[in-house]
């Protein structure tokens, strides 16, 4: 069943007008017609079955019928990612959405080459990935901030997994095995890594857990996917499926 | 230091003529000149320091000086990946190389849309990724085979991690915690998943361990990266760095 994110209140009997892009996709690309079923979610109110109620040249109307899944609270995991080149950043947003990150924060570090990115485009990628991966929410994309600023405002009850390519840090699974349950974030640096000053600063912060991701050099997108995977497997919602 | 893969014998004093693409990259793109150092590896004989000995219009000559790192044996991990669309397959080859897979086998399954791919291009991607990630070997890329054939010829001492999206399988970390040391392979299906017959067949094989990769639907490239990451972290060479 096709899933669509609609930022609108959902309740049985409600009529929803999807965006023109969504209407074109539904009726033009996917050939859905009056009476066909789709699923809708708005990030807060669960997933609903809806049917195509009207199709016209100007768009379509979806009638909400019944709740399929109530809203769930996913593990509280952020990704903090230094700006890297566009295609890799887009991959990271897609993958972080599949891997259940709640929030993706963009950071400007010493060796970051860019200081801006198209945040709206990243939001659109996150929505599409959330539709496809079956999530009930869409990760928030937070506009780029300087790393210093981001750390100065850090909520100290959130642990920060610092993926340190240059150090003697512990493997992720060992570090997580010793940690208490809490909100977490994963921090991934730019292609050029962190500066010596940034590394020293990070390692002195009480909420930072430095970790290593193995003996090979990983690109930023690989490192982000690996770190999020290991957190979900050891501390997140991949664990709860154990038989 | 730039690393280049050269499929040639390496020994102190040897003169190596890199390929014309490599020579253009070294002297044209990266502006290396006579006397500059680079690192060479051939997949079997460790990593060697070399210097640019001559530069001409037709190419360059690299003189091998000394061994930097002896050859290592990496964990015996294969990836078996169903043919997926080209860009995702190329991502998977890049990432599997970073994540230390020794061999990448391409499989044709019931719901695979293609029956061939440009294996030479995938080999070139694996070489470039190996150069960048710091590996001493390059993963072998095995041309596409039908899944039936591949399973019929399977070496029964190699465990096969079957990433089963539709089942009640155990999380990877739980499954690996109970397993004995052995060669392994990770099996990832096509975008359409495995057929019911394929799933039944796989689950009956004595060397197959079905696993789940969490509650969300993952694209094939994400699933491959996540499964390889978890194997390296739990059973492979990410473990040995523990302090």
Tens digits of residue pLDDT in A50-100: 999 999 988 999 999 999 999 988 899 999 999 999 999 999 999 999 999
Contact (Cβ atoms closer than 8 angstroms) between residue A126 and residue A104: yes
Q: Is A216 on the interface with B (CB under 8 A)?
A: yes
Determine whether the interchain pair B135/A216 forms a contact, defined as Cβ–Cβ distance below 8 Å.
yes
Q: Give start-end residues of each CATH 3.40.1280.10 domain in chain B.
A: 77-241
* DSSP string computed for B94-161: HHHHHTT-SEEEEEE-TT-S-S---HHHHHHHHHHHHHHHT-SS--EEEEEEEHHHHHHT--TTSEEE
Q: Is B237 on the interface with A (CB under 8 A)?
A: yes
Residue of A95, A133, A172 with shortest CB distance to B217: A133
Assigned token pair, B6: 């050269």
Chain B partners within 8 Å of A223 (Cβ): none
Report how many Cβ contacts below 8 Å link chain A to chain B: 123
Q: Is A235 on the interface with B (CB under 8 A)?
A: no
Tens digits of residue pLDDT in A154-206: 998 999 999 987 778 999 999 998 887 899 999 999 988 999 999 999 999 99
Buried/exposed code over A183-205 (b: 16+ C-beta within 10 A; e: otherwise) = ebbbbbbbeebbeeebbeebeee
Q: Nearest Cα to B164, choosing from B209, B204, B205, B207?
A: B209
**Chain B CA closest to residue A239:** B171
Tens digits of residue pLDDT in A213-237: 999 999 999 999 999 999 999 999 9
Q: Is A22 on the interface with B (CB under 8 A)?
A: no
pLDDT of residue A113: 82
Task: Give me the interface pTM, i.e. the ipTM.
Answer: 0.94
Positive or negative: CA dihedral B78, B80, B81, B86? positive
Q: Is A178 on the interface with B (CB under 8 A)?
A: no
What CATH number is given for B77-241 in this structure?
3.40.1280.10
| Distance, C-alpha B209 to centroid of its chain | 21
Q: Is A88 on the interface with B (CB under 8 A)?
A: no
Q: Is A229 on the interface with B (CB under 8 A)?
A: yes
Q: Is A233 on the interface with B (CB under 8 A)?
A: yes
Chain A partners within 8 Å of B172 (Cβ): 233, 238
Q: Is B235 on the interface with A (CB under 8 A)?
A: no
Residue of A172, A238, A242 with shortest CB distance to B213: A238
Contact (Cβ atoms closer than 8 angstroms) between residue A111 and residue A194: yes
pLDDT of residue B243: 43
Q: Is A3 on the interface with B (CB under 8 A)?
A: no
Chain A partners within 8 Å of B95 (Cβ): 222, 225
| Distance, C-alpha A184 to centroid of its chain | 13
Strand pairing report for A59-69 and A77-82: unpaired
Assigned token pair, B239: 């473990």
Buried/exposed code over B77-114 (b: 16+ C-beta within 10 A; e: otherwise) = bbbbbbbbeeebbbbbbbbbbbbbbbebbbbbbbebee
Assigned token pair, A65: 């019928």
Q: Give start-end residues of each CATH 2.40.240.20 domain in chain A.
A: 3-69
Alpha carbons A166 and B187: distance in angstroms, whole number: 32
CA–CA distances in Å: residue A227 to residues A171, A233, B82, B147: 10, 10, 25, 31
Contact (Cβ atoms closer than 8 angstroms) between residue A40 and residue A131: no
pLDDT band at A240 (very low <50, low <70, confident <90, very high): low
Q: What is the pTM of this model?
A: 0.95
Determine whether the interchain pair B243/A168 forms a contact, defined as Cβ–Cβ distance below 8 Å.
yes
- Taking 50 as the pLDDT cut, the residues of chain B under it are 242-243
| Distance, C-alpha A130 to centroid of its chain | 8
pLDDT of residue B242: 44
Chain B partners within 8 Å of A215 (Cβ): 134, 237-238, 240-241
Determine whether the interchain pair A98/B219 forms a contact, defined as Cβ–Cβ distance below 8 Å.
yes
Contact (Cβ atoms closer than 8 angstroms) between residue A69 and residue A33: no
pLDDT of residue A6: 97
pLDDT of residue A115: 81
Residue of B100, B219, B242 with shortest CB distance to A216: B100
Chain A partners within 8 Å of B186 (Cβ): none
Alpha carbons B223 and B231: distance in angstroms, whole number: 12
Q: What is the CA radius of gyration of chain B?
A: 20
Alpha carbons A121 and B127: distance in angstroms, whole number: 32
Determine whether the interchain pair A226/B99 forms a contact, defined as Cβ–Cβ distance below 8 Å.
yes
Of the residues B47, B186, B226, the best mutation for testing chain A's interface (the one with the most A CB atoms within 10 Å of its CB) is B226
What CATH number is given for B3-69 in this structure?
2.40.240.20
Residues 109-138 of B with CB under 8 A from A: 132-135
Determine whether the interchain pair B222/A225 forms a contact, defined as Cβ–Cβ distance below 8 Å.
yes
Chain A partners within 8 Å of B99 (Cβ): 214, 216, 218, 222, 226
């Amino acid at each position: 069943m096709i899933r669509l994110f609609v930022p609108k209140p959902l309740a049985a009997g409600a009529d929803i007008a999807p965006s023109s892009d969504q209407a074109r996709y539904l009726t033009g690309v996917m050939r859905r017609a009056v009476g066909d079923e789709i699923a809708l979610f708005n990030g807060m109110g669960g997933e609903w079955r809806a049917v195509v109620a009207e199709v016209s040249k100007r768009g379509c109307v979806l009638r909400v019928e019944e709740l399929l899944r109530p809203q769930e609270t996913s593990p509280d995991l952020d990704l903090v990612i230094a700006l890297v080149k566009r295609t890799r950043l887009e991959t990271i947003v897609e993958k972080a959405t599949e891997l259940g990150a709640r929030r993706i924060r963009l950071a400007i570090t010493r060796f970051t080459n860019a200081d801006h990115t198209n945040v709206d485009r990243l939001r659109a990628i996150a929505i599409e990935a959330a539709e496809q991966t079956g999530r009930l929410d869409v990760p928030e994309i937070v506009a780029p901030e300087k790393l210093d600023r981001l750390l100065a405002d850090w909520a100290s009850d959130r642990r920060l997994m610092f993926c340190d390519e240059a150090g003697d840090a512990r493997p992720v699974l060992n570090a997580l095995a010793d940690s208490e349950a809490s909100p977490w974030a994963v921090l991934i640096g730019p292609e050029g890594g962190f500066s010596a000053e940034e590394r020293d600063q990070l390692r002195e912060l009480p909420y930072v857990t430095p970790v290593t991701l193995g003996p090979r050099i990983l690109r930023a997108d690989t490192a982000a996917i690996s770190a999020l995977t290991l957190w979900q497997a050891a501390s997140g919602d991949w664990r709860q499926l154990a038989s």
